Structure 1
C-alpha cells in the first residue's frame, strides 16, 4: 500500500489530500491570502482523519506550478520542511495537468487547454489529451507549458475545451482554436486531490525527487522581485 500526501496553494484555493492506495481524501477551500495560516493545520487534520502520522506517508506531492509566485513558494517551503523532517521523497506535479484531469473527471471530454491568469496581461497555458487506457486514466501533453499573452498564443490545431481562470481572455483564446469549445469552465482551480492522483502514478514509476530538488516552476524567466532561497527546516 502507498500513502501520498499532497498540497496545493498555487491559486486562491488551498487544498490538501491523501492518496491511500488509490483512495483519495481531500480538504479543499477557497481561501485567498490565508494559505500560510491554513496549510499546516489542514495537513494535520487530514492525517488525523485518516488515522495516520507523517511517518506513515511514503511521499509528499505538491502543485509545483505554474501559479501564484507567493503561493508556489508557500507550497514548496511547506513540502520541503515536512519531507526533510520525515526523510521523505517529493513528487512535483504540474498544476495545469491537474486541472486537465479535474476537467476530464467532471465533463468526460478528452481535449483540454488549462490556462491560469498570470497577471500582467499574460496566461500560463498548456494543452492535454486525457483518455482511458487499459482501465487507467492517462494524460498526453499536446502543448507544452508556457507563459504568454493570449493574443500571442500560436493558432492550435486541436479542438480544445477551456478550463481555468486564464479563460477570462475567452474572446481572444477562442480565435486560437479551430472550433468553438463544448465546455469552458473558468472556475476550476488546481486541487490537491488531482495532484495526489497524478502523484500516485509517478510514485508507481519511481519518479520522485529528493527534497532539495522540490522547487517551484514559475515559467517566467524574469521576476520583478528578488528571489529568496527557500528555507528547509524540521517540523
Structure 2
C-alpha cells in the first residue's frame, strides 16, 4: 500500500489528510476563508504527528489542483511544491471538482454527480462525473467555466443526479430548472481525504510526477502560474 499525504486549499475550506491505501490515518478539515496560509502547514504537521508518520515515509504528495479560488490554488501549489522538493517526493494533482464528486459517493453513495463551484463574475466551474467505486471517478464531459444558465439540460433526466458545491447555492434556480437533481446543501467544498483516494488510483496507474510539474488548474485562460524561483 502507498502512503499519500493530500493537501487542499482550493476553496474556502483548508484540509489535509494522510491515507495508507484506502485507510485514512489522519485528517484535518476547516472552513477558514483567507486563513489558509496561516493554517495549512500547521494542519499538515498535525496530521503527520497524529499518524506518527514522517514526511520522509510518505510515498506521494497529492494536491487539489483546482479549479477554485485563484489565491487558494496557488497556495496549495506553492506549499506542495516546496514540500515535494524538500523531501524529494513525487506529486499527484487531483481536480477539486472530481474530489467533490468522489466525496458525494463516499458519504452518500451518489453515483451521478454534478459539481459546481461559484467562480464569481456570474460564472461557475462545472464538472460532471460518474463515480463507480472508491477512487474511481470518470468525467462525463470536460470541466469548464460557464454561465449557470444553459449547459445542463442535455443530461439524461431518467438518471438520478446529485449536485454539490457552492455553485448550487448561488445559482440554485438557474441550475435546478435544467435538470432533476438532489442538491446537497452541506457538502460544499472538496476534502483532502477524497483527493488522497483519487491520487491513490493515479499512483497505481503510474501517473505521479516530479515536483516541478505542480500546475494549478484555473479553467480561465487569462491566469498564469509561476513556478518557484530557480526551478525550470
Question: TM-score, normalised to structure 1's length?
Answer: 0.90
Q: Identify the residue that residue 199 of structure 2 maps to in structure 1.
A: 199
Measure the CA separation in 2 of the matches of 1:191 and 1:56: 22
The question of 1:151 aligning with 2:149 is answered yes
Measure the CA separation in 2 of the matches of 1:207 and 1:228: 21
Per the alignment, do residues 228 and 96 of structure 1 end up closer, same or farther by CA in structure 2, a change over 3 Å counting? closer
Q: Identify the residue that residue 185 of structure 1 maps to in structure 2.
A: 185
Measure the CA separation in 2 of the matches of 1:39 and 1:191: 13
Q: Identify the residue that residue 68 of structure 1 maps to in structure 2.
A: 69
CA deviation string 1:129-151 (max 9, x = no partner): 1124xxx5522211210000111
The question of 1:15 aligning with 2:12 is answered no
Per the alignment, do residues 87 and 31 of structure 1 end up closer, same or farther by CA in structure 2, a change over 3 Å counting? same
Number of residue-to-residue matches in the alignment: 225
Q: Identify the residue that residue 177 of structure 2 maps to in structure 1.
A: 175
Measure the CA separation in 1 of the matches of 2:209 and 2:95: 14
Greater shift, 180-189 or 16-25, is seen at: 180-189
Q: Identify the residue that residue 6 of structure 1 maps to in structure 2.
A: 6
Q: Identify the residue that residue 110 of structure 2 maps to in structure 1.
A: 109
Q: Identify the residue that residue 162 of structure 2 maps to in structure 1.
A: 161
CA deviation string 1:143-183 (max 9, x = no partner): 21000011142532234221100112111112322xx2234
Q: Identify the residue that residue 51 of structure 1 maps to in structure 2.
A: 52
Gaps of 5+ in 1: none
User: Is 1:80–1:214's contact at 8 Å kept on the other side of the alignment?
Assistant: yes
User: Is 2:16–2:193's contact at 8 Å kept on the other side of the alignment?
Assistant: yes
